[in-house]
Amino acid sequence: MKSIYQRIEEEISQKQGLVLATVTRTEGSTPQKPGSSAIFSDKGLISGTIGGGVVEGRVQIFAVDALKSGQSSHLNFNLNNDISKTSEAICGGKITVLLDADPSKSISVFRQLSESLKNRVPGVLITMVTIHDDTSVLINRYWMSNKSIPRLPEEFLEKISPVVTEQLTKGSIYDFREMTLSISGEEPSSLFLLEPVFPPEQLVIAGAGHIGRALAHLGNLLGFEVTVIDDRSEYANKENIPDADHVIVKDIGHAMHEIKKGADTYVVIVTRGHKDDAEALKPCIGASLAYTGMIGSIRKVATMKQEFIEKKIATKEDWDKIYAPVGIDIGSQTVEEIAVSIAAQLVQVRNGRLK
């Protein structure tokens, strides 16, 4: 999914005061997991979430105070006791939130992170928290990837590097880690928060018609990097599909051959006809994609399956990996409902992979 840290870079460029809130620890039942983040200004929530409802409302109050004081803090909330006077349902667990009163101090790190993601290089955002007292903490950030080693004391790097390697190998955005480290003979110790950040999954939509347009919008909302391909320039353009990150006007089959695809690529084929569907599908066979889905009636899909197997374009095992007809069966009738059914299936597959 798209990183909230890229949004921080955009917002900071507008020269407004921001506070970054990050869930660092949870116990029991809580609305969000460690690593969940939200950006606040003096006007309220800008992006992200740390759980919504009462918790987020309380954090927003602290965030506004942090903007005024300029002091960062590490806050603990007991969801039974701290918020007991509200009428809203509460979870009953405990949650710890790091409030960064001035994330602009880490802008160079966020830019480094953004550049890595643009080049599709994953990494780990390292947040070093030095606690001075109950109300004030010092925050320093570093970006670490296979191509970037941060300037940290060697004693810290020796302990952090194996953990970062493990996080990147595991490949889960939810593998948030917490470490307490200190240099021998020096005080105080520091809390290190290690958050893996991966490039957004790629959603490639073959077909810029009504369904492709609606799906591009939903894919953008869901945090995919969206590419739409069609050979009709009157459809495949930014005016018609403003939510696409990339629009390619080219023969669909050729474009699908050429576009870089990998284990984090989700392909949805919704072209205008059987021939284009087949040409878009051929380059996906055996490509080890995260997801391949194709629109069509049960009869059309059965016909294409038989054709692909008879011509040895695909094996039965290859075909069984294709979601066709595409989407979850929710009785879709309209273009928008069809797009929702496809988007729901994309989320279902993505969340299954990220567990």
Q: Is the separation of the CB atoms in 92 and 78 below 8 Å?
A: no
Helix axes 4-12, 107-118, angle to 10 degrees: 130
Average pLDDT over every residue of 64-70: 91
Q: Picking from 80-94, 175-189, 270-284, which range would have the lowest pLDDT averaged per residue?
A: 80-94
Structural domain boundaries of the chain? Answer: 1-199, 202-354
**What does the mean pLDDT of the chain come to?**
89
Confidence band for 354, pLDDT divided at 50, 70 and 90: low
Residue 77, token pair as written in the block: 């909330």
- pLDDT given for residue 87 in this prediction: 43
Count of alpha carbons within 13 Å of 3, Cβ hemisphere only?
27
pLDDT at position 211 over 50 = yes
One-character DSSP codes across 13-36: TTT---EEEEEEEEESS-SS-TT-
Looking at domain 202-354, its CATH class is alpha beta
pLDDT at position 84 over 50 = no
Residue 167, token pair as written in the block: 């996080």
Q: How far apart are CA 104 and CA 168, in angstroms?
A: 26
- pLDDT given for residue 134 in this prediction: 58
Q: Is the separation of the CB atoms in 21 and 32 below 8 Å?
A: no
- pLDDT given for residue 136 in this prediction: 78
- pLDDT given for residue 355 in this prediction: 54
Q: How far apart are CA 199 and CA 112, in angstroms?
A: 13
Ramachandran category for residue 288: left, alpha or beta (phi over 0 → left; psi -120 to 50 → alpha): left
Residue 141, token pair as written in the block: 């950030």
- pLDDT given for residue 81 in this prediction: 55
- pLDDT given for residue 109 in this prediction: 95
- pLDDT given for residue 204 in this prediction: 98
Q: Cα–Cα distances in Å, from 1 out to 16, 50, 61, 108, 239?
A: 25, 16, 28, 21, 24
Q: How far apart are CA 271 and CA 308, in angstroms?
A: 18
- pLDDT given for residue 185 in this prediction: 64
Can you count the helices (H) and strands (E) in the chain? 10, 14
More confident of the two residues 6 and 335: 335
More confident of the two residues 207 and 53: 207
φ/ψ of 130, rounded to 5, equals -105, 115
Segment 110-137, tens digit of pLDDT: 999 999 998 899 999 999 998 876 567 8
- pLDDT given for residue 78 in this prediction: 80
Q: 3-state DSSP call for residue 140?
A: strand
Segment 1-16, tens digit of pLDDT: 678 888 887 787 766 7
pLDDT at position 57 over 80 = yes
Confidence band for 89, pLDDT divided at 50, 70 and 90: very low
φ/ψ of 35, rounded to 5, equals 100, -15
Count of alpha carbons within 13 Å of 277, Cβ hemisphere only?
24
